[in-house]
Amino acid sequence: MNACIRAVVRTGIFRGLEVYGINRGYEGMIEGDIKQMNSHSVSNIIQRGGTILKSARSSEFRTPEGRKKAYESLKALGIEGLIAIGGDGTFTGAKIFYEEYGIPTVGCPGTIDNDIYGTDFTIGFDTAVNTALAAIDKIRDTAAAHDRIFFVEVMGRDAGFIAVECGIGGGAEFVMVPETKTDLDAVVNTLKSHREFRSSSIIVVAEGDELGNANEIMAMVKTKVDNPAKDFKVTTLGHIQRGGAPTARDRVLGSRCGMGAVDGLIAGKAGCMSGVINNEIVYTTFADCIGKSKPIHPDHLALIEILNI
């Protein structure tokens, strides 16, 4: 998200605007934790993970009283437009705030899950996939050396984009995602068919799979495998996927979305998100971003089955 912040600040200054940074999201907006930013404010941040403006959940912003305080903080500084970086929760708050107070707001898609409608990719997704994939490559080494079956759990409570890309890129034998029903017997049959000519297997599990987490699924599979002595292991990658230096693709995507958000505000756009589809900046209403689902491409699901026979 730092690449996006940097692009917003420098595009705004380039276009002759004053730019302010709000620390800790809506909570900071309520408390008036707002500072003017210049070009130097965003120097040497594009390679850093996370966000220099920090992030925080705000239960108070969910109330009319909290949003009124936030509006008064903005009004006191003469702020005329907002750019919000985040996902469903951020955009839901932005949509309500815009409808109540009319401050033009444009969003930028910031979530590792890649589940926001209106953009091909979200800021942070590519970095998360590459971080998880590097871990899976290392797990494959020990799995092969010790003849083990590994269940690797990646993030994806409601969407399996990370799991699918890691499964394809990591050569997983099976991938489990929330979007499709997991056939446990198919998993067992895959492991049995591979046992004769493969010394190890990797199964990637999105945390939101309907059968449960990786530990629960491993226990179910283990009872169905002929050889109970087979060495099964679980690795939960967790929040390691949310940090680290961003990839080039994420830096460019964040920069483009940030510039698009500023230019969108100048052009009179509001209540929408700046995203990239087919390499073009597009604007999608918050209502669609929140209300419409983004499916995994069926070709990706087919690739997993085809490439790992």
Cα separation, 115 vs 137, whole angstroms: 25
Are 26 and 85 within one domain? Answer: yes
**Six token digits for residue 169:** 């890129």
Are 238 and 133 within one domain? Answer: yes
Give the CATH number of the domain where residue 165 resides: 3.40.50.460
Which pLDDT score, from 0 to 100, does residue 279 have? 95
Which pLDDT score, from 0 to 100, does residue 196 have? 55
Are 113 and 222 within one domain? Answer: no
Which pLDDT score, from 0 to 100, does residue 159 have? 92
Number of domains in the chain: 2
Q: Is residue 143 part of a domain?
A: yes
Which pLDDT score, from 0 to 100, does residue 227 have? 59
Q: Which residues are catalytic?
A: 113
DSSP E strands, the chain: 19-22, 34-37, 82-86, 105-109, 148-154, 174-176, 201-206, 231-236, 272-277, 280-285
Collapsing DSSP to helix, strand or coil, 83 comes out as strand
**C-beta atoms surrounding 9 within 10 Å:** 24
Which pLDDT score, from 0 to 100, does residue 73 have? 96
- Among 185, 208, 242, give the residue marking a domain's end: 242
- Among 181, 207, 242, give the residue marking a domain's end: 242
Are 22 and 76 within one domain? Answer: yes
Q: Is residue 144 part of a domain?
A: yes
- Could you state, in chain order, the average pLDDT of each consecutive group of 10 residues for the chain (309 residues)? 96 97 95 95 94 91 95 96 95 96 96 95 96 93 82 91 94 89 83 64 90 89 70 89 93 97 97 96 96 91 80
**C-beta atoms surrounding 259 within 10 Å:** 21
At position 74, the amino acid (one-letter code) is L
Cα separation, 26 vs 14, whole angstroms: 26
Beta strands at 201-206 and 148-154: parallel, antiparallel or unpaired? parallel
CA dihedral 100, 105, 108, 109 (to 10 degrees): 20
Cα separation, 264 vs 273, whole angstroms: 9
Beta strands at 34-37 and 82-86: parallel, antiparallel or unpaired? unpaired
Give the CATH number of the domain where residue 45 resides: 3.40.50.450
Identify the domain containing residue 230 by its residue range: 127-242
Which pLDDT score, from 0 to 100, does residue 152 have? 94
- Among 204, 219, 242, give the residue marking a domain's end: 242
Give the closest residue to 142 by CA, choosing from 199, 90, 91.
199
Q: Is residue 304 part of a domain?
A: no
Yes or no: say if 274 and 257 are a contact pair by the CB < 8 Å rule: yes
Cα separation, 180 vs 266, whole angstroms: 42
At position 302, the amino acid (one-letter code) is A
